[in-house]
Amino acid sequence: MNNKPLSSVELQPFHELSTCVVASAIETFQVRLPNTGFLDSSVGCIFPELPPIVGYAATARIRSANPPMEGRSYYDRTDWWNHILTIPSPRIVVISDDDHPPGLGAFVGEVHTNILIALGCVGLVTNGAVRDLPAIRATGFQLFAGNVSVSHAYAHVFDFGGTVKLGGLQVKPGDLIQGDLHGVQTIPLEIAGKVPSVAKEILEKRARIAALCRASDFSLEELRDEVKAVEHTR
C-alpha cells in the first residue's frame, strides 16, 4: 500500500477536476463508504469562483469565546507554525473550533492569511469563523468556514498536530484534501495516484450521455443502454 505524498505533477490534475467527479472516482475503488470522506453543509466555500485547491492537512484546535488559559496575545501560540512546516507542501490548514457553538470569533483574517501563505498554505478549512474577506480574496487564498465574524474575539490555538473532527469529517495531519465550490473531501493516499485517470473516464461517460440527450434524433432506448453501460463499468 502506497501512502507516500504525491508529487506536484501528480497533484496537478486535482486542480482541474471538480470535487464531485473526484468523489465519484473515489467510490469506484470501494475504499470507504459513499457517505463518508467529505464535509457536511455546516462548512461552506467562501470564494466559490476560485478553482479547486489540493494539499496536505495541517491541523489545529482553537477557541474564541473565552480568553486562553495561558498568555494574553492573539499571537502567543506561534509554535504551531513549526508544525505546519512538518507537513508536505502544498498545505491546507484544518482548524476545529471547539467552542459550543463554534465561530464567535475569527482566528484567520488578513494577517493570518498572509502568514499561512508564507508557510506554503493554499487554503483554510474550519467550522469556525473567518473575516477580512475582500483582502483575503485578493490573495487567492481559499477559505471554507462555518460563518463570518467581524471580530477575532479571544481566538487562540490551544492544541495542534492531532486528529480533528469538523463538519462530520475526521482529518489527520498529512491527509490529502481537495476543496472547491461544492465543498471539501479527503482523498485516500493509497488510491490518490489512480483517481485522476478514473475521473477523466467518468467525465467522458457523462459527456456521451449529455450528447445523447441533446441529439436531434434523441432515443430513449439508446439513452437507457448508455446509462446501463456506464453503471456497469463504474
* 56 and 151 belong to one structural domain: yes
Report the 10 Å Cβ neighbour count for 194. 14
The whole-number pLDDT of residue 135 equals: 98
User: pTM, whole model, 2 decimals?
Assistant: 0.93
Q: Is the peptide bond before 34 cis (omega within 30 degrees of 0)?
A: no
Coil, strand or helix at 189: helix
Residue 1 has pLDDT above 70, yes or no: no
> For residue 87, what is its C-alpha cell?
507537513
* 180 and 201 belong to one structural domain: no
pLDDT digits (tens, 9 = 90+) for 192-218: 999 999 999 999 999 999 999 999 998
Which DSSP string do the residues of 145-166 spell out, in sequence order? Answer: ESEE-S--TT-EEEEESS-EEE
Q: Say which DSSP state 13 is in.
A: G
pLDDT digits (tens, 9 = 90+) for 151-208: 999 999 999 999 999 999 999 999 999 999 999 999 999 999 999 999 999 999 999 9
> By C-alpha distance, which of 128, 123, 127, 129 is closest to 143?
123
* 96 and 211 belong to one structural domain: no
Which domain does 163 fall in, by range?
Answer: 8-193
Q: Is the peptide bond before 90 cis (omega within 30 degrees of 0)?
A: yes
Is residue 3 in some structural domain? Answer: no
* 208 and 157 belong to one structural domain: no
